[in-house]
Copies of this chain bind each other. A is one copy, B any other.
Amino acid sequence: MQISELARRTGVPVATVKYYLREGLLPSGELTGATRARYDEAHVERLRLVRALLGPGGLSVATARSVLAAVDAPGTAVHEALGAAHRALPGVGPGDPPDLDRARAVLARRGWRVAEDSPALRALAAALAALEAAGYPPGDDLLDRYAEAAGRIGEQDVAEVPAGSLPEAVRFVVVNTVLLEPVLLALRRLAQEDASGRRFSGG
């Protein structure tokens, strides 16, 4: 199929498809002439993935490029792919390292083992610092409950990874890491709304 059909089938404007090609989010089609290229079903799928990452996934083009690079890297082991995806995700800038101790303490209480330089660890520390700066330093009990809930989820996420094909596993890990975040946040808000209704408006 040609670019116009690729665009039509995915609902993405042709100019935007060209933009994604330029940005390296979408591999170029097979050239059949100086002004013709052929695209296939894989491109349709990839384009849908790109749109999901950029839109609901909330990734920037640059971040999506890194994440997709992790997906494309051949022979990546699943654990490394997950690390690469985490590293590519919008983390904390190169600001001064906040107090990792508090974050590490939470992990230690749950017995979690993560890389020393895990971006998620830095992200947690930064988030805790932000809460502190806003005047609501979270208590250990709160953090522990959050960690317990997060633990169930992370456990399940990893358990669901398909064992067969390695590239498929990598793709699964990346997609689910990114696209289940909005699901989790929406569910949390819904749970809050339900609990708030029960507590505060006696429904």
* Contacting pair A194 B131 (CB below 8 A): no
Contact B184 A146 (CB under 8 A): yes
- For A133, what are the chain B residues with a Cβ–Cβ distance below 8 Å? 48, 51-52
Per the bound structure, the CA–CA distance linking A79 and B128 in Å amounts to 25
In the complex, whether A142 has a CB less than 8 A from a CB of chain B is yes
Kindly report which residue of chain B lies nearest to residue A119, judged by CB atoms: B189
Asked if A146 and B78 sit within 8 Å, CB to CB, the answer is no
> Is residue A127 within 8 Å, beta carbon to beta carbon, of the partner chain?
yes
1/0 contact trace for A149-176 toward B, CB 8 Å?
1111111111111000000000011011
Chain A interface residue count: which class? 35 or more
Residue among A114, A161, A193 with most chain B CB within 10 A:
A193
Structural contact, B197 and A127, CB atoms closer than 8 A: no
Copies in the complex: 2
* Cβ-defined contact, A196 with B78, below 8 A: yes
Closest B residue by C-beta to A106 = B187
The answer to whether B45 touches A193, judged by C-beta atoms less than 8 angstroms apart, is no
- Expressed in whole angstroms, the minimum distance between the Cβ of A88 and any Cβ of chain B is 12
Tell me if A203 is interfacial: C-beta within 8 Å of chain B: yes
Residues on A close to B: CB < 8 A?
45, 48-49, 51-53, 55-57, 77-79, 82-83, 86, 89, 106-107, 112-115, 118, 120-121, 123-124, 126-131, 133-136, 138, 142-143, 145-161, 172-173, 175-177, 179-197, 199-201, 203
Q: Which 9 A-B pairs have the closest CB atoms?
A: A154-B191, A150-B187, A56-B130, A120-B189, A124-B186, A158-B195, A112-B194, A127-B182, A79-B200
